[in-house]
Structure 1
Amino acid sequence: MRIDQALAFAQAELAGTETPAIDSRALLCHCLKKPVSYLYTWPERELSEAQLSQFNTLVAKRKEGTPVAYLRGHQEFWSMDFSVSEATLIPRPETELLVEKVLELNQRADAAICDLGTGTGAIAIALASELPKAHITGVDRVPEAVELAKSNAALNHVKNVTFKQSDWFSAIPNCIFDIIVSNPPYVESASEYLLQGDVRFEPASALTSGKDGLDDIRNILSTAAHHLNNNGMLLIEHGYNQGPAVAKEFETHGFTDIITFYDVNTLDRVTTGRWYTC
């Protein structure tokens, strides 16, 4: 089968999914180990039997709903490449707002920064790459996620980041930071969103957080102050409809200078607040 025929086949198989053409190209590039431009330059090239077999298998799995990132084993974030696994969430473009806001609001080149629930390590590694003098710590309660984050740091040649297994702050009780950042679970446990698209295949423990989706955010807010320097900053990603509720939780727990930022779709996505000890 030729490249153009393989793409046509895959798009027909994936018709009705959200992005059949994009997914078809991504999977074929993965099988061929070539960039997208190769598909357009050499549409008449024949796939080997091994390539065609692999492609057919991946298309079938994508048709069943398996995320492309899991099928390829990697995902781009902050113009960097990250290995992914079913033990972690897939890094999403919306989460880049967390990185942007830390870089915008940070006042120290050598800041001590903690990424809670680091998953693939994407946030921590992106920050470490942009702030080479900073000291970044990423924690996750899942051992497989910690090992994946470590390998992603090596993959992206980032050295000023350390990853530890910890249920939020449990394993780092005495650590103090200038900035704490987190993309915690924030989906309501009964949300219909959990039955849609890629999230059906992602770990539920990394998605859901109680009836209103705010259990983990409240947990973080109740303990974060003990781990922040004076004028320290906390930034949390949350759902598009949770901005007012999260801002109220920040206020309830004693944070000030509270701001909620919009994502690229002008939806509430990140709320930040500062902690003053005096």
Structure 2
Amino acid sequence: MSNITVAQCLQLSSELESISDSARLDVELILCNVLQKNRTWLFTWSDKNLTAEQQQLFNEFFSRRKSGEPIAHIIGQREFWSLPLSVNNSTLIPRPDTELLVELVLELFAADEPQKKRRCLDLGTGTGAIVLAIASEKPDWQLFGVDKSADAIALAEKNRAALQFNQVTMLQSDWFAALSLHADETAVQQFDVIVSNPPYIDPQDPHLDQGDVRFEPRSALIADNKGLADIELIIQQGWDYLCPQGWLLLEHGYDQSVAVRDLLRARGFVQIETRFDLGGNERVSFGKKDVVGRKGAAE
């Protein structure tokens, strides 16, 4: 009996429709990985047979996807901001909605001279997706990605090295802990912009047992105080790490925008806004550090 063809593999996508909103694309991505070809090749040569080894690997990957494992974990890669990023189960899988953070950073600094040097910090960098995407657009900036997880930083550094973004430094740090002091042990490092997609899901949220998040680290997903604990910490401590007129941008839950704006306002931030994600949900809130020397209202 001959081995299965590309077209026959694609037809199997119907078996994934109950667990995936992108069943056809999932199978295409599996085939591209197994065959080491692009999607155009699949359509041009759909009558080609897989070898026995390729069919065995396809069957393994297809079975894993059918059991609910994220396609990004199966093929070990996800694209973000048109950058190919390695992924694994030590971090969140980069999502299209998070590209909003990158868009807003570019918007806020659009008036800069092309060679203007800025300092950017990405808190909880995970795969490095956000900071690397910004680096791809801002080659003259100095950028830092930090994460508490050693495994996450190893993955982020792998992605940084693969993309050869030498202006980016990946650093293991529990939020700001490793950035706190200069040699004089009094002054903090400061940044023109701080971005973060922190844990913001309520530990009791039933969605934690559904979809791809079942395969992602809980530590990167959940936070106390109904998902607001880490956001509150970043807002409180982040003020001191921002240059005068610096910006803080935070991704948050669809129902947390009012609370996040209130926290930003209480800390002394101004020009506070919230923007919507691809699904029309309030997803990113941000604010600007007030005038030189002004303290936040909440210490």
Shorter-chain TM-score category?
over 0.9
User: Quick one: distance in 1 between partners of 2:17 and 2:171?
Assistant: 42
Partner of residue 159, structure 1: 166
Structure 1 segment 42-81 matched on structure 2, within 5 A: 42-81=45-84
Structure 1 segment 118-267 matched on structure 2, within 5 A: 118-173=125-180, 174-267=188-281
What code does the residue aligned with 1:162 have?
A: T
Partner of residue 96, structure 2: 93
Partner of residue 18, structure 2: 16
Q: After TM superposition, give the deviation of residue 34 of structure 1 in Å.
A: 0.6
Identity %: 43
User: Quick one: distance in 2 between partners of 1:212 and 1:123?
Assistant: 25
Q: After TM superposition, give the deviation of residue 266 of structure 1 in Å.
A: 2.1
Q: After TM superposition, give the deviation of residue 169 of structure 1 in Å.
A: 0.3
- Match of 1:163, SS? strand
User: Quick one: distance in 1 between partners of 2:9 and 2:282?
Assistant: 40
- Match of 1:144, SS? helix
Partner of residue 120, structure 2: 113
* Range with bigger deviation, 102-111 or 33-42: 102-111
Of the two, which has the highest radius of gyration?
2
- Match of 1:270, SS? strand
User: Quick one: distance in 2 between partners of 1:32 and 1:72?
Assistant: 12
Partner of residue 28, structure 1: 31
User: Quick one: distance in 2 between partners of 1:20 and 1:126?
Assistant: 27
User: Quick one: distance in 2 between partners of 1:239 and 1:199?
Assistant: 14
Q: After TM superposition, give the deviation of residue 211 of structure 1 in Å.
A: 4.2
Gapped runs of 5+ residues in structure 1? none
User: Quick one: distance in 1 between partners of 2:280 and 2:72?
Assistant: 25
Does structure 2 conserve the Cα–Cα contact (< 8 Å) formed by 1:88 and 1:145?
A: yes
Taking only aligned residues, the RMSD between alpha carbons, in angstroms, comes to 1.1
Aligned residues: 277
Gapped runs of 5+ residues in structure 2? 181-187, 295-299
CA-to-partner distance for each residue in 1:1-59, whole Å, 9 max, x for gaps? 111112223x1432312222111111111101111111111111010111111110111
What TM-score do the two structures reach when normalised by structure 2? 0.90
Q: Give the one of 76, 80, 85 matched to 1:82.
A: 85
What code does the residue aligned with 1:14 have?
A: L
User: Quick one: distance in 1 between partners of 2:244 and 2:45?
Assistant: 59
Runs of 4 or more off by more than 3 Å in structure 1?
none
Q: After TM superposition, give the deviation of residue 111 of structure 1 in Å.
A: 0.8
Does structure 2 conserve the Cα–Cα contact (< 8 Å) formed by 1:190 and 1:211?
A: no
Does structure 2 conserve the Cα–Cα contact (< 8 Å) formed by 1:263 and 1:269?
A: yes
- Match of 1:45, SS? coil
CA-to-partner distance for each residue in 1:195-248, whole Å, 9 max, x for gaps? 111011001100111241111000111100111111111000011111111111
